[in-house]
Amino acid sequence: MKANIKTLLTVCAAGLITGCTDLDVKVESQYTEYPIDNQIAVEGKLADVYFQLRGTYGRRFMEAMSLSSDEYTAVSYGGGWYDSGAYAHPSLHDFTAEDATIDWMGNLTAGCTKANTVIRDLGGDEANPVSIAPARAMRALFHFYMMDCWGDAPILDHLPADGELIDRSPRADVAKFIESELKEIIPLLTEEVNDNTYGKPTKWMAEALLVKLYINWPVYTAASVDQYDANAYSNEKLNDCIALCDDIIKSGKFNLGSMSYQMKFGPDNGSHVEDFIYAMPYDTYTEKGLQYGRARTWKQAGDVDISYYGMKLSSSAGGYITMTPEFASLFDDPGKAGDRAKSILRGPVFVYNPKTYEPTNEPALNINGDQIVLTKNITLDTPNDPQLGVGDDLEGYNQGYRSVKFFVIDDDYKNGRDQSNDLPIFRYADILLTKAEALLRGGTSTARPQDTPVSLMNEIRAYVHADNVNAGLSNEDLLKELYDERGREFFDENWRRNDMIRFGHFEDEFFPHYQNFPTANFDKTRRIFPLHRDMLNTNPNWEQNPGYPKYQN
């Protein structure tokens, strides 16, 4: 099934000979009149917008999100993978305007330009509202990421005239623009969920995005990024959030599915995964860009005859992203972790079955013929080393747990390490846990009164074969349990930073983000990234975000 959908998407992408793919070219279409009555032509035009973030999602987005959260840190090996601090800086909240991990805001603005070009070429909102609704949905998503990651953002709702400079708007105004856009287009988007709509905006994708906007509403509408206080959480959008969750649940289009947790994220996942509301399709040969395995794979996995993936790998691994001890603790209790713990390499490592993605009893060996044994704790070679060096040897490579959630196969390593695992952006499991959170935070209006925070959390626990949540917990303790549950369920999926800020944990201590670490930063302004130098050079009317040094080009 996955091959079929990827073939379809490749055909659509091939028709984009008139699309704007070079950020330096003019945005004007080469068509005087676009054939808007030809559905294939329209789909081809839209495909370039749909897949604008394929490269960004595939690496840089992941690094920015996971390394700035408590999920992962980036170690270096004898200086290797330090890369001028691009990976260490997020781990310490010590971002700079030079860091490659945050150089992708331009991909979002370019995506808005592509969407606006499509909207214009298809006749605009009044002439063709249904055909342009998917482009507006993607434009809303691009704005969401700009606003979530950088705070104030330009509202790019039109193609700028020659010489027009667009200033950044306050974060709250951007959030309200996204809300307005989504509410207008949701009735116009398709409700179909099938091979043809996979990887494209649907009504359910737009509703899931609005759910994310609403559950974070107090974060996005605070007077300033440092003024949000998780201990004084007051959200006027909770009932609206619940209503959207109910609509997705009642649709019957999605469920947690019968496949194992590991299979959902394997290299043969795709439109058949019933949990995926919206995902970015990847293929090692035709839709390249995803490299999550390379960063998380143990450093010498490519140097042995049989890697722990159950096969010989044709290339080396990067191995610079390793799990923090604090996050690893979420998986210590097997009753809470359930099957999700199988995606974590911890302690003695065993070879996995490359068909089921399940661990076997066969020890995974290092180059000396000994079993790989990973430690939970990470000890730097030199205390407080800003490069986070652990040594370029087996002792260094063995520090920190690893993830095999986005399972690697050798085909990936024959082709630049680009994987075929599709990346979920919005999942049904997230809708269930977000509804549980909204109810715990005081939401009351629901079309499904049988749903309680505990029952919703237990739906997740049941499908991963974990123990039920204790129904006798207080609301405060249930919120704590739900926060941890989100960590276990959505690790590697780039939502942890978002959750940490909302729950008030972004300024917590976690390796190496400790109070006694000289370059660790705990300022609340670090909840958003600094504008990268490229954006400041391109937009001289913009100013650097508060809390960061003024950039001098």
Determine the pLDDT at residue 364: 97
pLDDT confidence band for 25 (50 / 70 / 90): very low
The residue among 11, 18, 10, 53 whose CA lies nearest residue 34 is 18
Residue 72, classed as helix, strand or coil, is: strand
Under 8 Å between Cβ of 419 and 291? yes
For residue 419, is pLDDT > 60?
yes
pLDDT of residue 15: 37
pLDDT tens string 198-236? 999 999 999 999 999 999 999 999 999 999 999 999 999
Cβ density class 378-392: b for 16+ within 10 Å, e for less: bebbeeebbbbbbbe
- What element of type H or E holds 261? helix 261-264
pLDDT at residue 8 is higher than 50: no
pLDDT tens for 275-324 read 999 999 999 999 999 999 999 999 999 999 999 999 999 988 889 999 99
What is the arithmetic mean of pLDDT over 113-124? 94
**pLDDT tens digits, residue range 333-381?**
999 999 999 999 999 999 999 999 999 999 999 999 999 999 999 999 9
* Residue 493 burial by Cβ neighbours in a 10 Å radius (0-12, 13-18, 19+): buried
> What is the C-alpha to C-alpha distance for residues 376 and 83, in angstroms, rounded to an integer?
25
Digit-coded pLDDT (tens) for 126-155: 888 999 999 999 999 999 999 999 999 999
Mean pLDDT across 409-427:
93
pLDDT above 70 as % of the chain: 93
State how far the Cα of 319 lies from the Cα of 417, in Å rounded to an integer.
Answer: 13
Phi, psi angles (nearest 5°) of residue 111: -65, -40
Round to whole Å and give the CA distance between 48 and 27. Answer: 13
pLDDT score recorded for residue 167: 97
Mean pLDDT of 40-53: 89
**Residue linked to tokens 């749903």:** 451
Beta bridge partners of 365: 371
* Unique residue bearing structure tokens 């959200």: 235
Mean pLDDT of 455-467: 98
What is the model's pLDDT at position 6?
46
Give dist(CA 433, CA 453) in Å, integer.
8
Please provide the average confidence, as pLDDT, over all residues in the chain.
92
Q: In the structure, what pLDDT confidence band is assigned to residue 2 with cuts at 50, 70 and 90? A: low
- pLDDT in the model for residue 133: 97
Tell me the average pLDDT across 21-39: 47
Helix (H) / strand (E) element for 427: namely strand 423-427
- Of 305, 268, 232, residue with least CA distance to 504: 232
Residue 3: pLDDT above 70?
no
pLDDT tens readout for residues 51-70: 999 999 999 999 999 999 99
Q: What is the pLDDT of residue 33?
A: 54
pTM: 0.93
Q: Is the model's pLDDT at 29 over the cut of 50?
A: no
Q: How far apart are CA 553 and CA 544, in angstroms?
A: 12
If pLDDT is split at 50, 70 and 90, which confidence band does 166 have? very high
Q: Which range among 170-184, 408-422, 478-492, 503-517 shows the weakest confidence by mean pLDDT?
A: 408-422
The C-alpha angle with vertex 106 and arms to 202 and 203, in degrees rounded to 5, equals: 5
Q: What pLDDT sits at residue 35? A: 61
Report d(CA 57, CA 186) in Å as an integer: 24
pLDDT score at 340: 98
